[in-house]
Amino acid sequence: MNILRAKVALVMLGALGTVLAGCSSPVAGTPEPNLPSTSAGAPSKPANPFAARNQCALLDQILAGQGFPQGTPTIADRNRSCAAQKPSAGMTSGIDVAVILQDGQPYTDNVNHPETARRGDVNGRPSIEQPEPLNSPGQCQVGMAVEPSSRALVLVTSGSDTKAACAAAEKYATALEPLLPKS
């Protein structure tokens, strides 16, 4: 059941991110006519800060030596996310950990429950921790800023203990942060 809930959560996060990424906000100001550009070309999109990184290699690195199998790309967003699951053993709940690298999505986007989200930092990098991001006990997500306007997410599902999931998400985010691009 834990595997199914984790997969559903990852699918929902990917779908939510895709839907919300397509939305735009109103822009304040006075409309002006479209004037010809004075530059040699149109402004280019900033380079993908994750171009030289692989989400599964990063996940495997932060989980090394902890009994997890090798990470695999998720169904929801295989080009940007990777997950690994350590099954339950005796009295210890299983745990699912995912790393999602989202170019062009600020860490402040898609905060589902601002009333429970906590702003902070991971090794000095701005972050937001979201307990139960999909209203599912036992889940926690830490989103970290990656400049200029991207984010790295760590999503943990662990039984129904949200506090333990958040402690694990913080632990894995702290391990991931030094491996992310510096601004």
The residue extents of the domains of the chain are 70-183
- Cα 60 to Cα 34, 54, 67, 85, 146, distances in angstroms: 49, 10, 11, 11, 20
Residue 46: which pLDDT band, with cuts at 50, 70 and 90?
Answer: low
Instruction: Look at residue 140 in the predicted model and tell me its pLDDT.
Output: 96
Whole-prediction pTM: 0.74
Find out whether 97 and 172 touch, Cβ atoms under 8 Å: yes
Answer yes or no: is pLDDT of 43 > 70: no
CATH of domain 70-183: 3.40.1000
Instruction: Look at residue 119 in the predicted model and tell me its pLDDT.
Output: 95
Looking at every residue in the chain, the average pLDDT score rounds to: 80
- Cα 61 to Cα 77, 84, 138, 161, distances in angstroms: 20, 12, 23, 25
Instruction: Look at residue 177 in the predicted model and tell me its pLDDT.
Output: 96
Residue 45: which pLDDT band, with cuts at 50, 70 and 90?
Answer: low
